[in-house]
Homo-oligomer: A and B are copies of this chain.
Amino acid sequence: MAEQRLYHRVAEEIRQLIDEGVFPPGTRLPGERELAERFDVSRVTIREAEIALQAVGHIEIKTGSGVYVSEDQPLQPGQLPEVSAFEVTEARSLIEAEAAALAAKIISDENLKKLDDLIETMGNSDEETSLAADREFHAMIARSSGNGAMVHAIESLWRMREELPEVKHSYDAVCEEDAAARAKEHQAILSALKARNPDAARHAMREHFLRLIGSMLDASEQEALRAVQKRALESRERFLDVARMG
């Protein structure tokens, strides 16, 4: 596992040099031949590294001239910001609530039926399937809002929930135990949608996430408590060690 492809290692080093400001944006970096000598690899490898970097937009290669560092360096489309689970959930509570309100007015009977099925799936399935159904439940409501921009925002929030380690950890910590409460809330949301009641849908969705935020705060509190206890235990042992030595 230690050895990746050579060009990959070289590309990573060059990228680091760019990040560190050794090669500021707009500047021209050394020729392939010189880089090959510096990294002690062949010219082909340097070229492969440069191609990989170019494919991601870090540099621009100009034939006969040289390779240049891209001006807008931090252009990293699709990059997720570093946010806390609390922020993600607060944003979801606000945004998905509005999406639900929009959806209440125009959702089709067909989609209502699918939501019904998804709730059932969440009830009696293994954890993985249940999670997928949960996602689909919220995604379906988002799509039913008829607003692609809202759908995009909500999908982005879900990506944060799944791809940011800290956020994922927080969610996983609370998502198991309160399956009962969750099912009840989902049912409430669906009922509001069936009643074509935007305000009720908004409220139900907010309540859903509000409870989630509460659980997260509890969980993180308990975790913090455990950490404190662990530290206390460690310092106690350290103290005992010292006492023993003395």
Given contacts A78-B79, A156-B156, contact A149 B88 (CB under 8 A): yes
Q: How many copies does the complex hold?
A: 2
Interface size class of A (residues with CB under 8 A): 35 or more
Instruction: Determine whether the beta carbon of B90 is less than 8 Å from that of A7.
Output: no
Interface of A is mostly: helix
Does A80 belong to the interface (CB within 8 Å)? yes
Cross-chain contact of A7 among B51, B94, B148, B149 (Cβ < 8 A): B51
Q: Cβ of A83: which chain B residues have Cβ within 8 Å of it?
A: 147-149, 152
| Closest Cβ–Cβ distance, residue A139 to chain B (whole Å) | 13
Docked complex Cα distance between A160 and B152 (Å)? 11
Q: Cβ of A98: which chain B residues have Cβ within 8 Å of it?
A: 94-95, 98
| Closest Cβ–Cβ distance, residue A125 to chain B (whole Å) | 22
Q: Cβ of A90: which chain B residues have Cβ within 8 Å of it?
A: 102, 147, 149-150
